[in-house]
Structure 1
Amino acid sequence: MLAGAAALGAAATLPNVAAADTGGRGRLRVPPDAISIQLYSLRSLLEKDVPGTLSALADIGYRRVELAGTYGYQAAEFKSILDRNHITASSTHVGIDGANLDQVIADAKVLGNTRIVHPYSNFGTVAGWQSFATRLEKAGAAVRQAGLHLGYHNHDQEFRPVQGRLPYDILTRGTTELNVHLEIDLFWAVNGGADPVWLVYQNFGRVLQFHVKDRKPDGTMTDPGTGAIDFANIFRRTWHEGVQEFIVEHDQPTDPLHTAKVGYDYLFGLRF
């Protein structure tokens, strides 16, 4: 989510960013019920027509979504629309800083979420990141005690050194697997020069969700399967690491429903 992509040609030389292969390289596949979409990608449509947009997603094949707001609807009202379309909202993006966490938890339960994910943070000092990690861990403990789980979604700034340290290291070392899981945005990780496979290995058991958005060699964001990120390689090498949800996303799609269909069809048909 958020800001446009900065071009980082060097990232395209990583082993996992070789030309994408959507062909049948293996027998593994993403389970259809693990394919999701971040509704932020469809915000321009949802702002005008929530029922129609969710119905269109159901027609494409989606049975799972990740929320980023409810577009003027109360949680129970939004849940009712999801139910009519046989869609589950497994998680929702909500920033913990400044939020009424009790209300966030209550709404998440009404919506049927099992996870709450903090979507974005950026601090210019090590101390700022350390302080945030402490707040994230505390919030994660409260969310866990309420029967849900809190996660963190990265952009690319977490992989750029701040005062000689990587913010992602500060976050993962300053929080626990018990209270904070990781949602790796594959585009932003690659854009920051990180190897997503190594990130999963380093954080064994903590990575439960992938954001599947693609990247052209010049750094431009594009629909899944139309860029240079080798998702087949990433998924194959991390298949036994516990990732449970593969979430289609594009921050600035020109045609949101086209992006949704391209992303779903790509993940549905991918073999690795």
Structure 2
Amino acid sequence: MHEINRRTLLGGTAATALGLGLAALPGTAHAAGGGRPTGRVPRGAISVQLYTLRDLLSQDVEGTLRSLAAIGYRKVELAGTYGRTAAQFRQILDRHGLHGTSGHISLAADMAPVFEDCVTLGQRFAVVPWASFSTADEWKKLADDLNKAGRLACRYGLRFGYHNHAHEFQRLPTGEVPYDIITSRTDPRYVHLELDLYWAVAGGRDPVELIRAHRHRVLQYHVKDRAADGSFADLGTGTIDFPRIFSHSREAGVIEYIVEHDQPTAPLNTAKVGYDYLRAVRFPKR
């Protein structure tokens, strides 16, 4: 499988999202509608993807993690360890009262060392964040590899997942849809879904319909907002109707709400806005 390269991804897929010219999907205006807004996101379910703060972390790991803890975060999702070993990075997290409960990883021929590092870091989830292929057979091979890795992850006490972007929802020349291949060919016991809400919308899909199609399999959300022009937005300032989506969280099976912004201009402010939004948002219980 191709090595993860999210910088390359953002150059292509974000442009695709903008090119789609998508207005908000039905029901994605900021009005939850229906029912009393009594549901809330548990504080212990809030996390942040450290990719959002990659530029700061590359300069000052200790200070950046200290700042996240000061905002109120207790969980983070890793995207690398910035030149530290897993043990060294875990020590930094521990010093600031942070738990690296999830991490983005690459598939490898030998996944054992990868999962050993995940355990050292204290992770509960290990997630493949990126794949792109041009044929259905390649996507099917990926699904088989995910199953294999997921079975091994279980031996390490880990939940293994796949994170979507927009291109998985676009039809291949054969008419098949990569996301459908992944979800139908992988075993839900071994491969869960980390549903990126921004990329689902950018791919022309309604996150609620995806939740309904994959009940109790969406264990993690990437909570990322979308501006009216299709660009990334700080959480709660864009067009995605999170209360409507969150009202289906029990149906989804979601355990973690992970704040993310792929191209923030002020990463710590973005992290704070995201944390504050998730603490304040209310939605109908179902």
What TM-score bracket applies, with the shorter chain setting the length? over 0.9
197, 213, 233: which one pairs with 1:222?
233
Which residue is equivalent to 1:249? 260
Q: CA deviation at 1:3?
A: 0.6
- Kept in 1, the 8 Å contact 2:119–2:156? The answer is no
- Residues 209, 161 of structure 1: alpha-carbon distance in 2 compared, 3 angstrom cutoff: same
Q: CA deviation at 1:7?
A: 1.5
Which residue is equivalent to 2:78? 67
Over the aligned positions, Cα root-mean-square deviation in angstroms equals 1.6
The 2-side partners of 1:34 and 1:13 are apart by 26
Q: Write out per-residue CA displacement over residues 163-208 of structure 1, whole angstroms, 9 at most, x where no aligned residue.
A: 2011100000110111100000000000000111111111111100
Which residue is equivalent to 1:116? 126
- Kept in 2, the 8 Å contact 1:133–1:170? The answer is yes
Q: CA deviation at 1:10?
A: 5.7
Structure 1 unaligned spans of 5+: none
Q: Do residues 47 (structure 1) and 58 (structure 2) align?
A: yes
The 1-side partners of 2:257 and 2:47 are apart by 6
The 2-side partners of 1:81 and 1:168 are apart by 36
Q: CA deviation at 1:117?
A: 0.1
84, 96, 104: which one pairs with 2:95?
84
- Kept in 2, the 8 Å contact 1:11–1:17? The answer is no
Give the 3-state SS of the residue equivalent to 1:47 in structure 2: helix
Which residue is equivalent to 2:140? 130
Which residue is equivalent to 1:3? 10
2:204 aligned partner, one-letter code? G
Aligned residue-pair number: 269
Which residue is equivalent to 2:163? 153
Which residue is equivalent to 1:167? 178
The 2-side partners of 1:231 and 1:202 are apart by 18
The 1-side partners of 2:147 and 2:232 are apart by 31
206, 219, 229: which one pairs with 2:217?
206
The 1-side partners of 2:190 and 2:225 are apart by 29
- Residues 11, 117 of structure 1: alpha-carbon distance in 2 compared, 3 angstrom cutoff: same
Which residue is equivalent to 2:152? 142
- Kept in 2, the 8 Å contact 1:30–1:270? The answer is yes
Q: CA deviation at 1:136?
A: 0.8
Give the 3-state SS of the residue equivalent to 1:211 in structure 2: strand
1:271 aligned partner, one-letter code? R
- Kept in 2, the 8 Å contact 1:210–1:243? The answer is yes
2:150 aligned partner, one-letter code? G
Q: Do residues 231 (structure 1) and 242 (structure 2) align?
A: yes
The 2-side partners of 1:168 and 1:121 are apart by 11
TM-score of the superposed pair, with normalisation by structure 2: 0.90
The 2-side partners of 1:99 and 1:227 are apart by 40
Q: CA deviation at 1:19?
A: 3.3
Q: CA deviation at 1:146?
A: 2.1
- Kept in 2, the 8 Å contact 1:65–1:88? The answer is yes
Q: CA deviation at 1:241?
A: 3.0
Which residue is equivalent to 2:114? 104
- Kept in 2, the 8 Å contact 1:223–1:259? The answer is yes
Tell me whether 216-225 or 235-244 shows the greater mean CA deviation: 235-244
2:52 aligned partner, one-letter code? S
The 2-side partners of 1:173 and 1:213 are apart by 26
- Kept in 2, the 8 Å contact 1:20–1:229? The answer is no
Q: CA deviation at 1:237?
A: 2.9
Tell me whether 37-46 or 99-108 shows the greater mean CA deviation: 99-108
Which residue is equivalent to 2:29? 18
Give the 3-state SS of the residue equivalent to 1:76 in structure 2: helix
Q: CA deviation at 1:99?
A: 5.5
Q: CA deviation at 1:238?
A: 3.2
The 2-side partners of 1:12 and 1:101 are apart by 41
Which residue is equivalent to 2:3? none
Structure 2 unaligned spans of 5+: 1-5
The 1-side partners of 2:75 and 2:178 are apart by 31
Which residue is equivalent to 1:258? 269
Q: CA deviation at 1:20?
A: 6.0
